[in-house]
Amino acid sequence: MNDVQPRRSPITPTVDFSAKGIQHGFLRLPHSRDDSAWGSVMIPITVIKNGEGPTALLTGGNHGDEYEGPIALFDLARTVRTADVSGRIIIVPAMNYPAFLAGTRTSPIDKGNLNRSFPGRADGTVTQKIADYFQRELLPLADIALDFHSGGKTLDFLPFCAAHVLSDKAQEARSFDLVEAFSAPYSMKMLEIDSIGMYDTAAEEMGKVFITTELGGGGTATAKSTGIAKRGTRNVLVKAGILNGVADVAQTQWLDMPDGDCFCFAEEAGLIEPLFDLGDVVKRGQAVARIHPVGRAGQAPAEISARMNGVLCARHFPGLVKAGDCVAVFAVTV
Ligand code: ZN
């Protein structure tokens, strides 16, 4: 029989999204495997609902080795007071929970990169099923969505909150307003290398006000970067009128990634020697890193040159690079 209706998600929430008060529960995703025949992936979720107001969907751990989001969101879930909320906050601190538990960007179950898996599939892999649940169940509940990222094990970023340039200028303006409210040290008009399959794109195509971050990297978090994440989360909720309180606003420097020239990719493998650090200003044509061949001594390094004038806002983190690695990203100050 041909099933023309979309199959129902196999994920069962243990929380009631329409109930008043605070609930800590799970998105339970059946996952039959060697060590648990009728087992499940249990993705933690918190829902806080009180009075009238918009819904914010807050997510971290879309990539499993990025930590500012999970830290800020587990903290918010534990400390938020229902009486301070007008509307609803849905918190999923670690979206790709199997990847988060493994400390890896992608899922150890199916190698799925959640942020390249949208819109997902209800009858797909574990990662595709998570994407499908956000696409069809959680995003439709939201007015605004904040999805935390950092560089993970292989990139490091200047700390910024970001939104994308959109064809709907009203939606774009509302998104940039929330970026400004987040109050990270930097605010980015962000360009993606390839936006297909991203959660960002799914939310934006649904007309949601969507903001994201890159708050550091290297597969860890710092006191400074977690402070930015916690403060930014509360600032966004206050700005949206969902959380009582006064925003803790700080100065932010706006940056723009105007076109593909902002990305520099390695064309050979080797040992990378940075010639500039994050936040440094470079000129077009200037060498920003050297890649030393490691097969034998006495070989000249290849040079990576900036393709635009700008601020170094991201860099490859590990000391060894492979051909095709993104080694540097530049942006211009606005
Ligand atoms: Zn990420």
Say if residue 85 is in the same domain as residue 230: yes
Res 5: pLDDT: 54
Please compute, for residue 15, the number of CA atoms within 13 A of its CA located in the half-sphere on the CB side: 25
DSSP bridge pairs for 288? none
Among 256, 276, 299, the domain-final residue is 256
Say if residue 69 is in the same domain as residue 117: yes
CA of residue 152 to ligand 1 center, whole Å: 7
CA of residue 251 to ligand 1 center, whole Å: 25
Res 192: pLDDT: 86
CA distances to 91, 102, 201 from 26, in Å: 11, 18, 25
CA of residue 46 to ligand 1 center, whole Å: 21
Res 152: pLDDT: 98
Range of 309's domain?
260-333
CA of residue 272 to ligand 1 center, whole Å: 22
Contact 178, 144 (CB under 8 A): yes
Say if residue 318 is in the same domain as residue 294: yes
The residue ranges of the chain whose pLDDT is under 70 are 1-6
Say if residue 186 is in the same domain as residue 302: no
The conformation of residue 243, written as its DSSP 8-state character, comes to B
Pairing of strands 55-59, 87-92: parallel
CA of residue 299 to ligand 1 center, whole Å: 35
CA of residue 101 to ligand 1 center, whole Å: 15
**Residue whose structure tokens are 């978090």:** 221
CA of residue 65 to ligand 1 center, whole Å: 8
Strands (DSSP E) found in 33-74: 40-50, 55-59
Say if residue 245 is in the same domain as residue 268: no
Among 256, 289, 313, the domain-final residue is 256
Say if residue 155 is in the same domain as residue 277: no
Say if residue 185 is in the same domain as residue 94: yes
Say if residue 227 is in the same domain as residue 302: no
The conformation of residue 323, written as its DSSP 8-state character, comes to T
Say whether the peptide bond before residue 119 is cis (omega within 30 degrees of 0): yes
Say if residue 178 is in the same domain as residue 105: yes
Res 148: pLDDT: 98
Residues 90-116: tens digit of each pLDDT: 999 999 999 999 999 999 999 999 999
